[in-house]
Amino acid sequence: MASGGFFVFKSMGKKEREGAMNTEQAIRTRNSTRSFLDRQVDPGLLRYILELSMLAPSGCNIQPYRIALASGDHWKKISQELVRLADTTPLSHEISWSLDYPERYKKRQRETGFGLYRTLKIAREDREKRRKQFLKNFSAFGAPGVVFVFADREVGGYAILDLGIWMQTFMLAAHAKGLSTVPLTSLAAYPSTIRGHFNVPEYMALACAIAYGYADPDDDVNTYRPGRVPLEEIMLEAREPESNSITSPRARICPSQHNFSGTRDEHPPCCKAPSQSSL
């Protein structure tokens, strides 16, 4: 602990550095796992990854999120409740959520969904297989453990931003240490069930969950890698500057055509800058 109650994570030793995956490798090879082995994760390893994730940045370092861990029999009980609800009850997230994306994103959504079901060899018209695959979300695809993540609803949208950074940090750290993960908003679909298993402050909203464990190397679903749009598709172009535009509220053109925008002392003698109160 550092002064003020902040946790300070110690640097890795030589042995840990030699066995660690570098950042680019972790980013390029991480993927969402949808089939896990029935193999428990060592609690010491999980704690190491969680403590490493605490180094994630957040606005003003307020860290407006909380987490809840479930594994073993506790997770099995929760997952059974969630599967039963998902098969009979409409989803009810605490944070606004919808699969009805704006039209500009639907092409990406469809391509990803079609690609996943092609990998699974599930036909579009096979409703029963699609239903069973859907329900696997609520058992976290057989993962041995889950991290439920909550965002402070009183902080607003920036709490979700900070939480997303924490989640990516956790997933990359887990991958670097040999674990597989998948983020699942489906596990946040029945918040009252999750609140029944943990002491969750009312101001914390259940946002998502991350399943973790060891990927099943023999299941074809784990070979699926959806593509990403090219960089150019998300970049915004700079606006062309307008001719003779006034780019500052203090900029003025004096009768002698001097263009100024600095302090009053920087103005030519013929110019009279506006006072601060007139801006």
* Beta-strand runs (E) in 52-179: 65-71, 145-152
Angstrom distances, CA of residue 207 to CA of 51, 65, 84, 118? 20, 10, 20, 29
Which residue in 143, 221, 220, 229 sits closest to 182, CA to CA? 143
> For each of the chain's 279 residues, which pLDDT tens digit applies?
444 455 444 555 555 555 568 999 999 999 999 999 999 999 999 999 999 999 999 999 999 999 999 999 999 999 999 999 999 999 999 998 788 999 999 999 999 999 999 999 999 999 999 999 999 999 999 999 999 999 999 999 999 999 999 999 999 999 999 999 999 999 999 999 999 999 999 999 999 999 999 999 999 999 999 999 999 999 999 999 886 555 544 444 444 444 434 444 454 454 444 444 333
Which residues is 213 bridged to in the sheet? Answer: 180
Task: Report which secondary-structure segment, H or E, holds 204.
Answer: strand 204-213
pLDDT score for 12? 52
Which residue in 229, 218, 213 sits closest to 33, CA to CA? 213
Q: Which residues contact 48 (CB under 8 A, 6 or more apart)?
A: 177
Spatial separation of the C-alpha atoms in residues 73 and 71, rounded to whole Å: 6
Query: CATH number of 23-227: 1.10.274.10, 3.40.50.2300, 3.40.50.920, 3.40.109.10?
Result: 3.40.109.10
Which residue in 9, 140, 149 sits closest to 65, CA to CA? 149
pLDDT score for 18? 53
214 φψ region: left (φ > 0), alpha (ψ -120 to 50), beta (else): beta
Q: Which residues contact 31 (CB under 8 A, 6 or more apart)?
A: 180, 222, 224, 225
**Residue spans per domain, the chain:** 23-227, 246-279
Task: Report which secondary-structure segment, H or E, holds 106.
Answer: helix 103-120
pLDDT score for 242? 81
Q: What are the residue ranges of helices labelled H in 123-251? A: 127-136, 157-176, 191-195
Task: Report which secondary-structure segment, H or E, holds 183.
Answer: strand 180-183
